[in-house]
């Protein structure tokens, strides 16, 4: 519990940095005044309340969702290299958002989110259905390979749509990188209810994931309904990834790396991995967003780019460790 409380403090520190650091540095005292005694005539107060506060809240919500989704996927597939991006869930959500923009003229998050849900759900069903073919069922390796192939296929279809529709591309290109830039209070208010439902559902899956991570036969011996349990896990992942992708775009590698950090602190018990992942992931995402504001002043490097730069080497190290362990 002390470790969890310590990570909670890190969440607050990251949020404070997000409110203070930016193209224009704002003193901590001014930030506190803006939050407690807001003065609409003060431009610094407007920057804090209308730009940085919604952006910070979006980062906390999206980060928590992606960390939880990654932990759930790794538990249900028994694959420590799985995450929403690698298994095609983010790609499915992104493609459906593109189709929503191009075909149906959707321009708001309230519209994006439903297309994000649909795409995430279809991708999850396709990966599991194709990965289940064959005598050994949905093995972790087959799911990872199927997810990688589906991600490439969906990305190709998405690129075809974007290349043939310049208006959709103009609207989509800033979203596709994965960013917290420009996320206002309306976007946070629209996305928060979906993300909170997904968080509550995912946090209740710890005992189920402990059984599934030991294998289907062991889980059944504990009295679990493996099929129903996987459905609940899939619903949680679809809600979390669909809403997070609609709110901030496809941000990669958080769902892959954060559960590994959580395991280093907690061990293999998913009843603890889930809450640790929920708190660690927003710390990393918000700090990545802050770093992106600092390294390219007066411009910005999008948070999705920063997480990819940091996450790619970690992914390579994880793959190498698994190869060495298999020798």
Over 90: is that where the pLDDT of 219 sits? no
What count of other Cβ atoms lies within 10 Å of the Cβ of residue 24? 10
What is the average pLDDT score of the chain? 84
Q: Looking at 65-69, 103-107, 278-282, which range is the least confident one?
A: 103-107
Report the C-alpha gap between 178 and 62 in whole angstroms: 11
Using CA atoms, how far apart are residues 217 and 78, in angstroms rounded to an integer?
13
pLDDT confidence band for 177 (50 / 70 / 90): low
Residue 175's pLDDT band (cuts 50, 70, 90): low
Identify the band that residue 135 occupies on the pLDDT scale cut at 50, 70 and 90.
low
254 neighbors 68 (Cβ within 8 angstroms): no
CA–CA separation, 236 vs 73, rounded Å?
10
Average pLDDT over residues 266-293: 92
Read off the pLDDT of residues 259-270 as tens digits, 9 standing for 90 and up: 988 988 898 999
Alpha helices in 132-253 (DSSP H): 140-164, 166-176, 185-203, 206-212, 216-221, 226-248
Between 139 and 79, whose confidence is greater?
79
Give the predicted TM-score (pTM) of the model. Answer: 0.86
Regarding the domain delimited by 2-326, which CATH topology (the fold level of the hierarchy) does it fall under?
ABC transporter involved in vitamin B12 uptake, BtuC (1.10.3470)
Give the pLDDT score at 202. 95
Please report the pLDDT score of residue 273 as a whole number: 95
3 state DSSP class of 80: coil
Per-residue pLDDT at 140 = 65
Residues 6+ away with beta carbon under 8 Å from 284: 63, 254, 257, 258, 307, 310
The pLDDT of residue 174 is 61
Distance CA 5, CA 7 (A): 5
Alpha-carbon span 219 to 214, nearest angstrom: 7
Q: Which residue has the higher pLDDT, 177 or 88?
A: 88
> How far is it, in rounded angstroms, from Cα 129 to Cα 256?
22
**pLDDT tier at 322 (50, 70, 90 boundaries)?**
low
324: how many CB neighbours lie within 10 A of its CB?
8
Report the percent of the chain where pLDDT is more than 90. 26
What average pLDDT does the segment 212-226 reach?
A: 85
What is the C-alpha to C-alpha distance for residues 16 and 28, in angstroms, rounded to an integer? 8
> Structural domain boundaries of the chain?
2-326
3-state helix, strand, coil in the chain (%, to 5): 80, 0, 20
Average pLDDT of the residues in 237-254: 84
Is the separation of the CB atoms in 44 and 26 below 8 Å? yes
- 265 membership: H or E segment, kind and range: helix 254-266
- The pLDDT of residue 270 is 94
- Per-residue pLDDT averaged across 162-175, rounded? 74
Picking from 75, 90, 39, 312, the residue whose alpha carbon sits closest to that of residue 206 is 75
Please give the residue that has the higher pLDDT: either 144 or 122: 122
Q: Is the pLDDT of residue 25 over 50?
A: yes
Query: Where is pLDDT greater, at 273 or 105?
Result: 273
As a whole number of angstroms, the distance between CA 325 and CA 327 comes to: 6
Q: For residue 198, give Cα distances in angstroms to 23, 45, 188, 204, 313.
A: 33, 32, 15, 10, 29
pLDDT, average across residues 232-259: 85
**Is-contact 301 295, C-beta < 8 A?**
yes
Q: Please tell me the distance from the alpha carbon of residue 96 to that of residue 122, in angstroms, as a whole number.
A: 10
Note the pLDDT of residue 327: 38
Identify the weakest region by mean pLDDT among 185-189, 249-253, 258-262.
249-253
pLDDT of residue 114: 82
What is the predicted pLDDT for the residue at 176? 67
Q: Quick check: 62 and 188 in contact, CB under 8 A? A: no
CA–CA–CA angle 226, 230, 236 (5° rounding): 150
Q: Which segment, 248-262, 264-278, 290-304, is predicted with the most confidence on average?
A: 264-278
Q: What is the mean pLDDT of residues 203-217?
A: 89
> Across 117-121, 289-293, 294-298, which has the greatest mean pLDDT?
289-293
Nearest to 142 by CA among 155, 122, 156, 126: 126
């Amino acid at each position: 519990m002390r470790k969890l409380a310590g990570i909670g403090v890190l969440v607050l520190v990251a949020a404070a940095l997000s409110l203070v650091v930016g193209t224009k540095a704002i003193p901590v005292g001014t930030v506190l005044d803006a939050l407690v005694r807001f003065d609409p005539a003060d431009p610094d107060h407007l920057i804090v309340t209308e730009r940085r506060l919604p952006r910070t809240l979006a980062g906390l919500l999206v980060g928590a969702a992606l960390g939880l989704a990654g932990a759930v996927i790794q538990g249900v597939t028994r694959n420590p290299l799985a995450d929403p991006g690698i298994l095609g869930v983010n790609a499915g959500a992104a493609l459906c958002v593109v189709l929503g923009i191009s075909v149906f003229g959707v321009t708001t998050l309230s519209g994006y989110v439903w297309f994000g849900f649909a795409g995430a759900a279809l991708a999850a069903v396709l990966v599991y259905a194709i990965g289940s073919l064959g005598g050994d069922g949905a093995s972790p390796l087959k799911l990872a390979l199927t997810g990688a192939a589906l991600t490439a296929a969906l990305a190709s279809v998405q690129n075809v749509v974007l290349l043939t529709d310049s208006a959709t591309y103009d609207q989509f290109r800033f979203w596709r990188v994965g960013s917290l830039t420009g996320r206002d209070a309306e976007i946070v208010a629209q996305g928060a209810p979906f993300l909170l439902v997904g968080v509550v559902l995912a946090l209740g899956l710890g005992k189920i994931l402990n059984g599934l991570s030991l294998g289907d036969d062991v889980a059944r011996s504990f009295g679990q309904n493996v099929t129903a349990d996987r459905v609940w896990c899939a619903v949680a992942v679809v809600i979390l990834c669909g809403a997070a992708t609609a709110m901030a775009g496809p941000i990669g590698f958080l769902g892959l790396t954060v559960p590994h950090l959580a395991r280093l602190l907690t061990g293999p018990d998913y009843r603890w991995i889930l809450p640790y992942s929920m708190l660690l992931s927003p710390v990393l995402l918000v700090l990545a967003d802050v770093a992106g504001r600092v390294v390219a002043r007066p411009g910005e490097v999008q948070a999705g780019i920063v997480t990819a730069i940091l996450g790619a080497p970690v992914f390579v190290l994880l793959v190498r460790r698994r190869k060495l362990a298999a020798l």
